[in-house]
Structure 1
Amino acid sequence: MTNIYQFQPESQIYDDASLWIARLDRGLSKEETEALRLWLDKSPKHRECLLEMADLWDRMDSLSMLAELFDPPAATKNRNRQRSVWAVAASVTALVCAIGLLAPAERWKTPAAEVQPLQTAAVTPNNVYETGIGAHSTVNLPDGTRMLLNTDTQVTVTYTDNERLLELKKGELHVEVAHDKQRPLRVMVGGKIVEAVGTAFNVYRKDDQNFDVIVTEGRVHVKPVADRLTIPTEVENLQELGRGEKLSVRASQPVEVKPIETAVISDRLSWRDGNVVFRGESLQNALDELSRYTPETFKVIDPRITDVRIAGLYKAGDIESLLLALKENFNIDHARTAGGVIELSLHQDNTNSD
């Protein structure tokens, strides 16, 4: 079995159209709207494919939000669906985009779990907020700062006269910072301090020594915890990030700062809407990410499927839709063990290899 799937150019167009439908469903930024406009202008086929995918998924309401970009024929809703189904079948990754989108509507209406401080309902110094596995929620702090918590996250909030300190114990949060020059907002994570400079940013703590910071607005300073209260200009090991930049801290590796595209940031932070978006990750990497949203764990026991590529939108926690899509699109079987492990392997009838 080969681990690389080759697609014809037309299949790639349907691939791209699927991702645009997913983005339209959760709303586009100004930058994404312009990027979509440019993509549509490249070829009439792009418009046709986008309308077909929207028709298949019943997402014409999403397209109506950008009516100025389209001139869809009145017959679109009545077009032959066989052509749309063939188009999706022509692209394996486009089919995987349907994970969750083709699930029962009720799964799209699952509310975020309510977050409660562990000590008291009031936000007072040293409050701890947390979410369970598969949940995400929003906390409005008393100064106007908005804190969004992803799955399995725990944050300690401490306000003093000199600072607003959020200690990320585990998980991931996105912070929209209320301006206060007298009390800087700082996030403590992995031996570092991420200090806001009138901004919004995301912090994902993978473990004690590995974390990522993505800046979505303004700028942040990243410095050692020992320099927490030190003026930035006096800090020797200071990193500064602006909008659209990502900092990665890894054990025994140099700190890396690099720019990332707006569309990639939106996909990476789609968890705020309860979604996960993949852009061609290997099956193993996709499963590692999805395992954050479920108490079950995945184990690939067949090396022939490890590098299968996944692209599209997935509803966080909807494991059954994922397993169904893997079966229908890649002929991958699964088996659940008593220990809560889901084992994945190529269907046993498929014994041919390249």
Structure 2
Amino acid sequence: MSERKTPFRPSRAAYAEAAAWLVQLHGAGRDAELEADFRAWLKAGSGDHAAAFERVTEVWDKAGEVDIRGLARVTSRAAFERKQPRWRVAAAAMVLSVLGLGVFLLSSHDMEYTTGIGEQRTVRLSDGTRLSLNQDSAVDVDYDGRRRIVRLSRGEVLFEVAHDVQHPFVVMAGDRTVTALGTSFVVRKESDEMDVTLLEGKVSVASLMAVRASGAFEKEQGEITLKPGQYLRVRAGERPQLDVRRADAATAWRRGEVILDGTPLGEAVAEMNRYDPHRLEIDDADLGQVRVSGIYRTGDNLDFARSVASIYGLKVKEEASHIRLTKD
């Protein structure tokens, strides 16, 4: 007796994104960058994205058999330019409606995106905003009609925000909010720390006192406004620290690199361990204060350990589960 296989069904989020991609790719605003982003989106979906796009495209191709004159008018008026997100979303919603999935998917726009260890992912949202997720990251996107809200529960994300004065873009990470209108910045969230690096534009970082059960913002205080090139670090129980940071260092992970500039070895080890399960350890407090500089490949702790050892006269001890740096 043969086993009956359950048909593969793409997720609702995949259908919503596929519809948005469809209207962009059929428009006058199509360019090489858009096509590259689309290919990355297809690849990132592990079959989910490709299946959703295939089904949405099938409906599009059969449009002559269905009365979708309203869709044609919307898409024509929009000209699919990325500077007009509200029309692109409207067209995508109509495609979803033809599919029988309902426009609520794009009107509420509540989606979650994650990456695993060693995985990176780029997501293009319906308003044109692009999120680049570093490994082991998780975000929840909630566009409620008033604000564009993204909750970063862990990891690191590069935000390239589409300008929209009427709908502020807010990133919530721990007890902090990062608000922008149209800009580029990196937010990193760990268990007891939140970092923000501003690459372009302007953002404000505030402490969130409370959030009502409805999810609305109650009150914010202690707002700090960043300028391009500035870096804000917030650690539990400490005052926020404002410093400067090179843009290439803030986004080095996208190139598979870690850039260290006089970084204490203890912090450098913690950073390298984010990308390699073969963990690096040091058991000397003084050794952890040694300053390290250079550009290193992520996911190669052994090469990093050997390089540091050769510079500072240390020894590398390889063990089954970890690598140890010692003075003797």
TM-score by length of 1: 0.56
Cα distance, 1:144 vs structure 2:
0.7
1:292 Cα deviation from its structure 2 partner: 1.0
How do 1:12-27 and structure 2 match up within 5 A? Answer: none
Deviation at 1:159, TM superposition (A): 1.9
Stretches of structure 2 lacking an aligned partner (at least 5 in a row): 1-39, 53-104
The residue identity in structure 2 corresponding to 1:343 is: R
Question: Residues 214-260 of structure 1, C-alpha deviation per residue, up to 9 Å, x if partnerless?
Answer: 111111122344378669xx85433222322222222122234x351
- The residue identity in structure 2 corresponding to 1:198 is G
Task: Give the alignment partner of residue 193 of structure 1, picking from 164, 177, 195.
Answer: 177
Query: How far does the alpha carbon of each residue in 1:168-217 deviate from its partner, in whole angstroms, 9 at most, with x for none?
Result: 0101111010012232211110112211122111111122x421111111
The answer for the alignment partner of 2:189 in structure 1 is 205
Please tell me whether residue 255 in structure 1 is matched to residue 236 in structure 2.
Answer: no
1:230-309 map, 5 Å: 235-256=220-241, 258-260=242-244, 264-302=246-284, 305-309=287-291
Q: Structure 1: which amino acid aligns with 2:159?
A: V
| 8 A Cα contact 1:136 1:274, kept in partner | no
1:173 matched to 2:161? The reply is: no
Change (3 A) 1:175 1:282: same
Residue 142 (1) aligns with residue 95 (2): no
Residue pair 1:294, 1:317 contacting (<8 A) in 2 also? yes
Closer, same or farther: CA 183–310 of 1 in aligned 2, 3 Å: same
Corresponding position of 2:299 = 317
Alpha-carbon distance in 1 for matches of 2:227, 2:296: 29
Query: Which whole-Å CA distance do the structure 2 matches of 1:323 and 1:112 have between them?
Result: 35
Residues 244-300 of structure 1: CA deviation (Å, up to 9, x unaligned): 2222222122234x3515xx3322321122211111223222111111111232221
Task: Give CA deviations for 1:139-189 in whole Å, capped at 9, x if unaligned.
Answer: 111211011111211111122212221110101111010012232211110
Using CA pairs below 8 Å that are at least 6 residues apart, which structure has the higher relative contact order? 1
C-alpha contact 2:151 2:173 (8 A) present in aligned 1: yes
CA distance in structure 2 between the aligned counterparts of 1:295 and 1:116, rounded to whole angstroms: 24
Structure 1 unaligned blocks of 5 or more:
1-110, 349-354
Aligned to 2:102: none
Give the conservation status (yes or no) of the 8 Å contact 1:156–1:166.
yes
Tell me if the contact between 2:42 and 2:49 (Cα under 8 Å) persists in the aligned partners.
Answer: no
**Are 2:114 and 1:130 aligned?**
yes
Match of 1:214 among 182, 193, 197: 197
Q: Secondary structure at the match of 2:119?
A: coil
